[in-house]
Amino acid sequence: MNLNELLQQAQRLSNETQMDTEMPRVDRTLSQVLQATQELHARVTQAGTNDLQAHILLGSRGVDLPKLTQKLESLSARQSFEPLNPIGDTDVEGYLKNERENAIIAVIEETNKNIFKSVERNKMRCIFVEWGEEKERLLNALVGPNQDDFPEVHRHMVSTVLPQSALPRSRLNRVESMYAQQITLYNHVHNQGSQRANLLSQFTQMVKDPSNSLDTHIQEMWSVLNYMAYVTPPNRNAEPLKVRQSGSPFVQQALIYLEQCYKQYMNTVIQKNRLVGLRGGIPNIYNTVCSYVTITFQSPQSMVGLLDVSDNRPLWPLVYYSLRSGDLGAAVEFLKEGGVCPDLVKLLQHKHQIKQKQQQAQLQQQLHQLGEQERPNAKLEGQLKLEYSNKLRVCTDPFKKAVYAIVLACDPNEPHQEVVRTIDDFLWMQLSVLSTEERLDYNVERLSYGGLQSLILEKYGENYFNAREKAPLYFQVLVLTGQFEAAIEFLARTDVNRPHAVHMAIALNEQYMLATPNDVQKPLLSAEKSDPPPMRRLNLARLIIMYTKGFEQTDTVEAVQYYYLLRNLKAADGRNLMMSCFCDMLVENCDDKMLLLVFGSPDPCDPWRYIGGVFSQFSNMEHDKYSLAGMVGDELAHRTKFEAAIRLYFIGGQIDKALRLLCSLLTQVVHQSSQKGSIREQLVVVSERMNQSLSRRKTDVDEHVMRTYKMLSELLKFFDYYHAGESRLAIEVLTKNHITPNSCAEVDECVSNLKLVGSDIMKVLPDVLLAAMDLIYGQYLEMKAGANVSGNSHNSSSAGPIDDQVGDPKEERLRYLRQRAKALTNMAATLPYRMPSDTNNRLVQLEILMH
């Protein structure tokens, strides 16, 4: 092909590619095409995939995205929603434009608020409807379509009629009320002088009574406490901690309790598996253990690792469960049938003989023989311990290893995990390997009683035993290890168990088995330096007071019974703790009802004697209701409750204290006018009762106190007359009692009379002098004005001397009033008491005005 043909072909292709469009023809070289391609690629990469997809999507729909973006940017909401600029008052067009836009904006905002409120209202309505439907569905699922399906559900009708006298509701629940009844009965028997009842046994019987419907865990706690509390006879002079730390009696008691519980457990398992157990023969421990081992080891897997077999049963489990049940004779019998370990059989036989002797009546006489009989077996026991250390520590039979450790009382640090499966098993194992004084010669690794107590209380503690969820279990562990105080304090932390803990402590204390601190201000659980670790002391006083404070205002009779249990303790200030608790209770609530309940009512024949009252049943030579009333009165006076203190002094027969306090109160209000409900009116009533009491019976009261009280009583009358406007009667009171002088010659006599009374009179004397001067000045003004003496004789006549001078001239009477005024100012200057300056100024001014 030549060049001409090639040119013709190119022109033909160019003609074919021409389109009938208005677009201009573009002629680009290859370099320009390459450059345009690179620019397009860079622009697409920079815009991102999202923008590219947006361009493609909007471009496919005929939307020009660049132009749309420019239009959106040109939009502005400033003219519609921004605050309007203020305009001048003369710009009417602008003002109308702003008002129009403001109206539009206000309508928009109000519409938005209404919409939001409507939406919120509809939303809450829908939520309540859904809740109602859900509650209805749940109630229908609970009750069912037919109410007859739950016949025990009863509707409790609430009375709408209120009683005439609203009494406070008792704060004692059913369990607390039962305990309170037992305490009341116990105190009643004790006050009658009868033989002391066993309070711990009474509580245990009450808890186990089926009619009381108490929890089984509560019954178990009382049972274990009752069982452990009777190890030794109670002794008032013995120290409870020292008796308990003796070890051997308490260890034996705890072992017996755990062994009896395990016997019951084995019998329960056998009863549930009678066909497998094949129990038969004499109902003794031997046959019980055989049946139990048959049930426990019926699968071939359970026999893995066990060494010896006796009558198709594993031998060492038979021996272990015999020891676990406390029957050494059955263990010896099993070992003889197996024909193994003759040295262990001899040692067990020897221990079995010793145990039988311990169970005889004369236990204390056999202890010396016990020590003598152990010495010939020391060599045998040493050989067995050596065998245990060399061979049995790696023995595959865990029961054989446990039997040797129990019989030899060794290796206390071995956990025996294959055998010990419960807390009771662990505790029984630890108690079984405890060292006693008879074994101190040959025991290398020993666990003492105190060491076991520290292990339970301090090393393991509450977290190990999960005490929060298993409180009865932890309580039993502490009790079985002789830690009564720590067990009760742990139980008293929860509201549900606190009533049981309080009465457990009371029962133990009445049996002289509770260790208490010497100071009642110590914490609930404390320890003294002389106490063997880790023993604690329980503050019984604090425990009872904390428990009783909750209901002493609503159930006062029951509270008094609990406070009576503290009669042998002393408070921090040396007072009897029972009396101190009674005193605090009465100080907090000293109304008429409480006083009548505690002290009773006055005897009509003898107002100083009170009949009845709760406290009368506790009276003895050391404390009675009258000494209690005096103690409460002192405390009330110390707390400035003077009116109540005077009343308690009346009850206690301490008139001297009542008079002193009454005089101190009267001096503060005697010059005031009597108003209804005022303190002065109340003290007048008390004063009248005091006068009646003093007229019926003579009491030993200091002479100056009696004189002070009598003068204050007269001043009460004087100020009553003075404020009532009875000037003649008021002046007669002063003249009759020689309180103020009628002339200058009587000043020394009146001053001498005032020195014989107490200093309380001096506090009210300025008011007396001012009142007397005011009365004299009033009479002077009436006479000066020429008042009719005969028509106002009850106001102008003041005393006897004036009455004798009725016929004298008017000037003579005025002179007499000036003399009396002069006598008052002289008396104010003569008194050994610094009068207030206002009083002296007032007296002198009135005297000057009369000249």
Taking only the tens place, the pLDDT of each residue in 582-632 is: 999 999 888 888 888 888 887 777 666 778 888 888 867 577 888 889 999
Q: How far apart are CA 392 and CA 833, in angstroms?
A: 101
| 596 and 559 both lie in a single domain | yes
User: Using CB atoms within 10 A of its CB, is residue 54 exposed (0-12), middle (13-18) or buried (19+)?
Assistant: middle
Instruction: Tell me whether residue 141 is in a domain.
Output: no
Count the domains in the chain. Answer: 4
Q: How far apart are CA 500 and CA 492, in angstroms?
A: 8
Lookup result for tokens 């020897």: 350
Instruction: Tell me whether residue 532 is in a domain.
Output: no
pLDDT surpasses 60 at 184? yes
Q: How far apart are CA 754 and CA 59, in angstroms?
A: 121
**Mean pLDDT across 28-40:** 77
User: pLDDT: is 105 or 89 the higher one?
Assistant: 105
633-652: burial string, b at 16+ Cβ within 10 Å, e else? bbbbbeeebbbbbbbbbbbb
**Mean pLDDT across 223-228:** 94
Q: How far apart are CA 664 and CA 673, in angstroms?
A: 18
Q: How far apart are CA 761 and CA 391, in angstroms?
A: 101
Residue 159 confidence (pLDDT): 53
**Mean pLDDT across 629-638:** 92
Last residue of a domain, one of 602, 623, 653: 653
| 354 and 285 both lie in a single domain | yes
Residue 818's nearest CA partner among 784, 771, 768, 767 is 784
Residue 795 confidence (pLDDT): 45
User: pLDDT: is 237 or 84 the higher one?
Assistant: 237
Residue 407's nearest CA partner among 457, 362, 352 is 352
Instruction: Tell me whether residue 11 is in a domain.
Output: no
Last residue of a domain, one of 415, 435, 455: 435
**Mean pLDDT across 332-348:** 89
Residue 69 confidence (pLDDT): 75
Residue 481 confidence (pLDDT): 93
Alpha helices for 339-444 (secondary structure H): 342-358, 363-374, 378-390, 398-408, 423-432
Residue 169 confidence (pLDDT): 73
| 616 and 724 both lie in a single domain | no
pLDDT surpasses 90 at 216? yes
CB 525 within 8 A of CB 538: yes
| 268 and 242 both lie in a single domain | no
User: pLDDT: is 647 or 19 the higher one?
Assistant: 647
Confidence bin at 206 (pLDDT 50/70/90): very high
Last residue of a domain, one of 412, 435, 458: 435
**Hey, what amino acid is at 809?**
P
| 295 and 412 both lie in a single domain | yes
3-state secondary structure of 222: helix
Pairing relationship of beta strands 313-314 and 525-526 according to DSSP bridges:
unpaired
Residue 439 confidence (pLDDT): 45
- Least confidently predicted of 261-270, 275-284, 513-522: 275-284
Bridge partners (DSSP) listed for residue 576: 570
Phi, psi (degrees; rounded to nearest 5) at 47? -70, -25
**Mean pLDDT across 729-742:** 88
Lookup result for tokens 């002479």: 703
**Cis amide linkage into residue 534, ω under 30° from 0:** yes
| 716 and 588 both lie in a single domain | no
189 CA to centre of own chain: 31
Q: What is the pLDDT of residues 486-533, one digit of tens each?
A: 999 999 999 999 999 999 999 999 999 999 999 999 999 999 988 888
Instruction: Tell me whether residue 3 is in a domain.
Output: no
pLDDT surpasses 70 at 165? no
Instruction: Tell me whether residue 822 is in a domain.
Output: yes
Residue 19 confidence (pLDDT): 57
pLDDT surpasses 70 at 437? no
Lookup result for tokens 């107002």: 607
CB 228 within 8 A of CB 479: yes
Is the pTM higher than 0.75? The answer reads no
Element (H, E) at 537: strand 537-538
| 388 and 293 both lie in a single domain | yes
Confidence bin at 426 (pLDDT 50/70/90): very high
Q: What is the pLDDT of residues 459-490, one digit of tens each?
A: 999 998 889 899 999 999 999 999 999 999 99
Confidence bin at 851 (pLDDT 50/70/90): confident
pLDDT surpasses 50 at 792? no
Q: What is the pLDDT of residues 751-775, one digit of tens each?
A: 888 888 877 788 899 999 999 999 9
User: pLDDT: is 311 or 337 the higher one?
Assistant: 337
| 419 and 330 both lie in a single domain | yes
Residue 400's nearest CA partner among 388, 385, 383 is 388
Q: Which residues have a Cβ under 8 Å from the Cβ of 239 and sit 6 or more positions away?
A: 515
Residue 745's nearest CA partner among 819, 654, 848 is 819
Q: How far apart are CA 282 and CA 259, in angstroms?
A: 20
**Mean pLDDT across 783-812:** 52
Confidence bin at 175 (pLDDT 50/70/90): very high
3-state secondary structure of 279: coil
Q: How far apart are CA 833 and CA 601, in angstroms?
A: 45
- Least confidently predicted of 366-375, 390-399, 495-504: 366-375
Residue 117 confidence (pLDDT): 92
Q: How far apart are CA 345 and CA 335, in angstroms?
A: 7
CB 504 within 8 A of CB 206: no
| 790 and 679 both lie in a single domain | yes
Instruction: Tell me whether residue 85 is in a domain.
Output: no
- Least confidently predicted of 196-200, 305-309, 360-364: 360-364
> Considering just the CA atoms, what is the radius of gyration of the chain in Å?
52
Confidence bin at 375 (pLDDT 50/70/90): very low
pLDDT averaged over every residue in the chain: 82
| 692 and 784 both lie in a single domain | yes
Element (H, E) at 314: strand 313-314
Most confident of 124-133, 178-187, 298-307: 178-187
Element (H, E) at 602: strand 601-602
| 309 and 205 both lie in a single domain | no
**Mean pLDDT across 739-748:** 87
Instruction: Tell me whether residue 87 is in a domain.
Output: no
Phi, psi (degrees; rounded to nearest 5) at 538? -100, 125
| 367 and 406 both lie in a single domain | yes
Residue 306 confidence (pLDDT): 84
User: pLDDT: is 53 or 751 the higher one?
Assistant: 751
Instruction: Tell me whether residue 662 is in a domain.
Output: yes
User: pLDDT: is 723 or 796 the higher one?
Assistant: 723
User: pLDDT: is 803 or 106 the higher one?
Assistant: 106
Residue ranges making up the domain that contains 556: 550-653
